[in-house]
Amino acid sequence: MTMITDSHCHLDFPDFETERPDVVQRALDAGVHRMVTICTRLRNEPAVRAIAEAHAPVFYAAGTHPMSAADEPLATVDELLALTKHPKFVGIGETGLDYHYTGDSAEIQKTSLRVHIEAAQRSGLPLIIHARDADDDMARILTEGYREAPYSCVMHCFSSTPELARAALDLGFYLSMSGIAAFPKSQSLRDIFAAAPVDRILVETDSPYLAPPPYRGKRNEPAYTVHTAKVGAEVFGMDYADFAAQLEANFDRLFTKAAAFKAAA
């Protein structure tokens, strides 16, 4: 079976509470052999860590989501670095900027983002970025941080402008395709991905949100990563098996700790 990785999901959310083992098994049955579950509030990190410890295919990352930045204690670099000691902790975030609903907390979001950037710089783990309606500030802060000290990064669930895509790609960052890229009306977004190097692409669900067709409007889950990946193969004009192999190489190159864990296992 062709294998791929769901690079971003939220298995700790209540949507999965009663059937988490089944959700993980359905992913495996569909050919999604790894998942990275994302903690969005650091106070929930123990519960997210426990999910990764309980399920062999699951890795995890943690940070403060920008929409929660004003409601949560400001993370410290040392706090984030302490989390990186866990063998299945593979990324910093998600963090970023979201001015769509929470523009009034822009300044604390920027401060939080810079803390996470420093943690990525010092740990060597990839930064996981959420960006919505904040493209100019996002491009500027990511670029300023990179000039101070290089780091790796994925623009998770990318659905922003070509300009932000180019700024991220110019820094060597990755763009992640979610179910949004598979929506019929998302041709302009697919065009952005098509213009990117195929060795800088990941796929994800962001489940329980953003289910791709044919499940749009229903609860998303990691198994459905395959549907987005098949659309990605079409975008790049590739055979699905070849595109899947490229996605795996891309994930391993960015999430080196997950790749090393797999090799060690």
Q: What is the mean pLDDT of the chain?
A: 97
- Phi and psi at residue 116, in whole multiples of 5°? -65, -35
Contact (CB, 8 A) for 167 and 139: yes
Confidence of residue 1 (pLDDT cuts 50, 70, 90): confident
Distances (CA, A) of 139 to 136, 166, 181: 5, 9, 21
Dump pLDDT digits (tens) for 208-238.
999 999 999 999 999 999 999 999 999 999 9
Contact (CB, 8 A) for 179 and 206: yes
Residue 265 has pLDDT above 90, yes or no: no
Closest by CA position to 3, among listed 251, 219, 179, 255: 251
**Pairwise CA distance, residues 143 & 18, whole Å:** 42
Give me the half-sphere count of Cα atoms (radius 13 Å) on the Cβ side of residue 182. Answer: 25
pLDDT at position 39 is: 98
Provide the 3-class DSSP secondary structure of residue 125.
coil
Provide the residue count of the chain.
265
Average pLDDT over residues 152-178: 98
Longest dimension (CA), the chain: 47
**Pairwise CA distance, residues 60 & 53, whole Å:** 9
Q: How far apart are the first and last CA of the chain?
A: 20
Average pLDDT over residues 138-163: 98
Average pLDDT over residues 238-257: 98
- HEC string of 181-248 equals HHCCCCHHHHHHHHCCCHHHEEECCCCCCCCCCCCCCCCCCHHHHHHHHHHHHHHCCCCHHHHHHHHH
| CA-CA-CA-CA dihedral for 223, 98, 137, 190, to nearest 10 | 40
Q: Is 172 left (phi over 0), alpha (psi -120 to 50) or beta?
A: left
**Pairwise CA distance, residues 5 & 3, whole Å:** 7
- Residue range of the domain that includes 10: 4-264
Residue 106 has pLDDT above 80, yes or no: yes
- Three-point CA angle 88, 78, 95, nearest 5°: 65
Q: Total domain count for the chain?
A: 1
Dump pLDDT digits (tens) for 28-70.
999 999 999 999 999 999 999 999 999 999 999 999 999 999 9
**Pairwise CA distance, residues 66 & 96, whole Å:** 5
Residue 264 has pLDDT above 90, yes or no: no
Dump pLDDT digits (tens) for 182-210.
999 999 999 999 999 999 999 999 999 99
Closest by CA position to 205, among listed 219, 190, 194, 192: 219
pLDDT at position 165 is: 98
Residue 249 is part of a domain; what is its CATH number? Answer: 3.20.20.140
